[in-house]
Structure formats: C-alpha cells, structure tokens
C-alpha cells in the first residue's frame, strides 16, 4: 500500500517579508519563518528596534527601516528587491475608546494603518510576485475582533473586519496565479502593545471569562499558524481565517 506523503512545513530558500516586526507577533512570526528555513526580511519604523530584532533572530535575517504608511517609500522598497514568496502583513495599531469619543484623527490613524497600509503592502508584494512570475502566500494578522464585536473597539473591529473582507477578495483575484491569501485572527495576546491593558484587573478578568481555555494568548500560539499558512501544508487553503482565540468566538 502506497501511503500519502505529508506535505512539508519547511520553507527552505523561500523569501519572506514581515511588517511591524520589531516586537510582539511580528517578531515571533519572523522567528518562526526563519526557524522553518525562510530567508526573512523584517521591517518597522524604528531602525534601532528592527536591527536588534534581526540580530536576535540571526539565520541571515535582513532588516530595513520602513514606514508602511508612506506609499512612495513602500513602492521604492518593493522596487529595490526581488519578489518575496511569503508576506506576513502584521503592522497595526489600536485606539480603544467608546465610539462616541472617536475623532477623525483616531479614525484615520487606525483605518489608515490597519486597512489602507495593509492593502498597499499586499499590493506591492503581489505586483512584484507577478513581475517575477512567483506564486506565494499572503498572511494578514487580523484579530478575533474581525469576527465579533467588542466594547470600546469600534475602530479596531472596523479595521479587522475590513481586513477579513480584503483577504477573501485578494484570494479570489489571485487564485489563478497561485497566490494564496489568508488571515490569522488571534485573541488577546500578551505583547508590549497590550500589556498596559492587563494592568486593569477588571479588564483582565473580563477577557479571561471569554477565553474558554482560561488563559491569555502568547506569541508562541500564533507562530505555528504562520508557518502552516506559509508552507505547502496549506496548499489548498485560501480566502480563509485561522482563529487562534481559545474558544472566544465559539460561544
């Protein structure tokens, strides 16, 4: 009897780009891809932070200072490099507050980075893939808040629901050229961006009450999903979302 061969999770020789990679989920994603054999380029706005992140990962990881809200800078970045096979579209922000308190400045900051920049990062990556005749995988870091609502999260929910819709549309546009597009939707992950929120005991308790596995997420919880979606193990997965939420959205 001939047994099927398990698809490889290895990424040897593949080129990967991770945005917002100086810390948190972005740094973890970059480390996971490098461990799987990818040649990783990490970008963020802070030169010092991104250089330190690249040094900590090692394994021929490259770094570049890049503000993904600067569309001219983004175009120049992709024009100066060969195509990437993998994108982890991770750069993002949050401004939690009641919807009645949101200003236009708040709206533009969150939607501008989480939606507009994410769109044009993906577009720049795809255009270079097409020019070089490459297939590949687009991985967008969304949130469970792209599947449910959340108190004081109107802007964040709006942006992450938009990201889910964008990714599905990308998947349909790009399927014929072999480029897949998916999201990863984590629950609350303990990172430098979220740590201050959990200093409030009431907020921490309210979050843990909704995570059925009874703990906050860690960046390690996201790393496996990143490698899966980047690899041949997910060759038939596109237009989908891996929800890493400990059961939050199952209720």
| Active-site option among 77, 156, 188, 228 | 156
Cα–Cα distance, 113 to 68 (Å, whole number):
8
For residue range 58-94, list pLDDT tens digits in order.
Answer: 988 999 999 999 999 999 999 999 999 999 999 999 9
Would you state the pLDDT for residue 191?
Answer: 79
Cα–Cα distance, 53 to 55 (Å, whole number):
5
Spatial CB neighbours of 79, under 8 Å, sequence gap ≥ 6: 128
Question: Over pLDDT 70: what percentage of the chain?
Answer: 100
The CATH class given to the 15-244 domain equals alpha beta
Q: What is the pTM (predicted TM-score) of this model?
A: 0.97
Based on the residue annotation, tell me whether 156 is a catalytic residue of this protein. Answer: yes
Ordered by start, the domain boundaries in the chain are 15-244
For residue range 101-156, list pLDDT tens digits in order.
Answer: 999 999 999 999 999 999 999 999 999 999 999 999 999 999 999 999 999 999 99
**Sign of the Cα pseudo-torsion (62, 64, 66, 72, in order):** negative
Strand partners, 64: 43
The count of other CB atoms within 10 Å of the CB of residue 107 is: 15
């Amino acid at each position: 009897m001939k047994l099927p061969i398990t698809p490889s999770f290895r990424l040897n020789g593949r080129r990967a780009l991770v945005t917002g990679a100086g810390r948190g989920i972005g740094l973890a994603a970059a480390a996971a891809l490098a461990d799987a054999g990818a040649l990783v380029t990490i970008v963020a706005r802070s030169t010092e932070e991104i250089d330190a992140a690249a040094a900590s990962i090692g394994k021929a990881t490259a770094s570049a200072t890049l503000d993904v809200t600067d569309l001219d800078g983004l175009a120049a970045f992709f024009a100066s490099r060969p195509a990437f096979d993998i994108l982890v579209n991770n750069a993002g922000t949050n401004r939690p507050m009641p919807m009645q308190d949101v200003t236009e400045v708040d709206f533009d900051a969150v939607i501008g980075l989480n939606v507009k920049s994410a769109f044009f990062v993906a577009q720049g990556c795809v255009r270079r893939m097409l020019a070089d005749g490459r297939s590949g995988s687009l991985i967008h870091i969304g949130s469970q808040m792209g599947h449910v609502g959340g108190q004081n999260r109107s802007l964040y929910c709006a942006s992450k629901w938009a990201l889910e819709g964008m990714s599905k549309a990308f998947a349909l546009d790009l399927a014929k050229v072999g480029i897949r597009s998916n999201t990863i939707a984590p629950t609350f992950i303990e990172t430098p961006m979220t740590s201050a929120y959990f200093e409030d005991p009431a907020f921490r308790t309210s979050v843990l009450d909704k995570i059925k596995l009874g703990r906050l997420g860690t960046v390690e919880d996201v790393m496996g999903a990143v490698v899966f979606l980047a690899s041949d193990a997910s060759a038939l997965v596109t237009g989908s979302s891996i929800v890493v939420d400990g059961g939050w959205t199952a209720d």
